[in-house]
A and B are shown apart, each in its own frame.
Chain A
Amino acid sequence: QKEVEQDPGPLSVPEGAIVSLNCTYSNSAFQYFMWYRQYSRKGPELLMYTYSSGNKEDGRFTAQVDKSSKYISLFIRDSQPSDSATYLCAMGDSSYKLIFGSGTRLLVRP
């Protein structure tokens, strides 16, 4: 079993839809949770960072962490075609070693 599980998609939604992306994990030592966005043929870039449990909002993006369920989510409101990318969840413990999910490919149709 992988430490971090993520549905690979692809997920196709119409422009303006609310998108929900999720990851589950098995290592209870993870305290740091991130979402990276990767456009085609580019390197990943940090989108959201959350420490421990709770919610964090940044514009159209909301990250949620439920440590009791070992489950994290990223919500995108009013999705735009420019949001089309692969979204990678990532997690870490005190060792500063990022463990990535395999990524969910998102396509927002105009």
Chain B
Amino acid sequence: DAGVIQSPRHEVTEMGQEVTLRCKPISGHDYLFWYRQTMMRGLELLIYFNNNVPIDDSGMPEDRFSAKMPNASFSTLKIQPSEPRDSAVYFCASSRRALYQETQYFGPGTRLLVL
């Protein structure tokens, strides 16, 4: 298996622009997670899905952020409009079951820089 695939790997954009991050989870994994990692705040869970349904979006910082999972093999995280404080590494992760002892498999991340 190729693992969790994220695109783009790097994104540089200007303040006010729309940004769309993409994720393909590992086949057969029913859970998908979006995280954001910064030096100041560490790794934070933004939202997670079970069988394509959003379960907990309490970590989504504000209405500028939205996430969708139209099918089992694809998810997007959209920021509109983007702001410099959104600059971070965004990780997508997937897992088969909701068990802590089973690892969440993380993708390589998307490094976002908003100027």
A residues touching B (Cβ–Cβ < 8 Å)?
A: 6, 32, 34, 41-46, 49, 51, 88, 92, 95-103
Contacts and interface: CB of A to CB of B under 8 A. Distances in A.
Interface of B: 4, 41-45, 48, 56, 91, 93, 98, 100-101, 103-109
B100 A32 contact: yes
Nearest to B43: A100
Given A43-B93, A43-B109, A88-B43, A98 B56 contact: no
A92 B101 CA distance: 11
A49 B43 CA distance: 18
Contacts of B101: 32, 49, 51
A46 B103 contact: yes
B97 to A, nearest CB: 10
A43 B44 contact: no
B108 A97 contact: no
Given A34-B100, A42-B108, A43-B107, A97 B56 contact: yes
Contacts of B45: 97-99
A20 B100 CA distance: 23
B40 to A, nearest CB: 8
Contacts of A98: 45, 100, 104
A97 B98 CA distance: 9
Contacts of A102: 41-43
A43 B100 contact: no
A96 B98 contact: yes
A47 B108 CA distance: 17
A100 B45 CA distance: 9
A36 B63 CA distance: 30
11 contacts: A6-B42, A34-B100, A42-B109, A43-B105, A43-B107, A43-B108, A95-B56, A100-B42, A100-B44, A102-B41, A102-B43
